[in-house]
Amino acid sequence: MIGTDVAKAAALLREGKLVGIPTETVYGLAANALNPEAISSIYAVKNRPSFNPLILHIANAEEAEKYALSIPKLASELMKHFCPGPLSILLPKSDLVPDLVTAGSEKVVLRVPNHPLTLRLLSEVEFPLAAPSANMSNTVSPTSASHVQQGLGEKIPYILDGGSTIVGLESTIIEVIGNEIFVLRDGGITREELEKFGEVRQMKSTKQVQSPGQLSKHYSTRKPLLLVEDIEAYISMHPNKIYSVLLFEEKEINATKHLLSKDYDLAEIANNLFGKMREADEDDSEAILVEPIQEVGIGRAVADRLKRASVKN
Q: List residues near ligand TXA by CB under 6 A.
A: 23, 25-26, 28, 52-55, 86, 88, 90, 102, 105, 107-109, 111, 113, 131-133, 170-171, 173, 210-213
Shortest separation between residue 15's beta carbon and ligand TXA, angstroms? 21
Shortest separation between residue 211's beta carbon and ligand TXA, angstroms? 4
Instruction: Closer to ligand TXA by CB, 90 or 280: give it.
Output: 90
Residue whose CB is nearest to Mg ion in the complex, by number:
133
Measured CA distances, 200 to 17, 160, 175, 180, 211 (Å): 39, 35, 10, 6, 17
H or E element at residue 109: strand 107-111
Measured CA distances, 83 to 112, 113, 119, 307 (Å): 6, 8, 11, 28
Residue 157 touches which member of Mg ion, ligand TXA, none, C-beta under 5-8 Å by kind: none
CA 239 – CA 41 distance, rounded (Å): 47
Q: Is 202 exposed, middle or buried (0-12, 13-18, 19+ CB in 10 A)?
A: exposed
Residue whose CB is nearest to ligand TXA in the complex, by number:
213
CA 124 – CA 113 distance, rounded (Å): 15
The residue ranges that bind Mg ion (CB under 5 A) are 133
Shortest separation between residue 89's beta carbon and Mg ion, angstroms? 17
Shortest separation between residue 103's beta carbon and Mg ion, angstroms? 14
φ and ψ of 208, to 5 deg: -75, 115
Residue 173 touches which member of ligand TXA, Mg ion, none, C-beta under 5-8 Å by kind: ligand TXA
Helices 266-282, 145-152: crossing angle, 10 deg rounding: 40
Shortest separation between residue 133's beta carbon and Mg ion, angstroms? 3
Residue 55 touches which member of Mg ion, ligand TXA, none, C-beta under 5-8 Å by kind: ligand TXA
Instruction: Closer to ligand TXA by CB, 43 or 243: give it.
Output: 43
Residue 88 touches which member of Mg ion, ligand TXA, none, C-beta under 5-8 Å by kind: ligand TXA
Shortest separation between residue 242's beta carbon and Mg ion, angstroms? 30
CA 90 – CA 69 distance, rounded (Å): 11
Rounded to 5°, the CA angle 74-166-189 comes to: 20
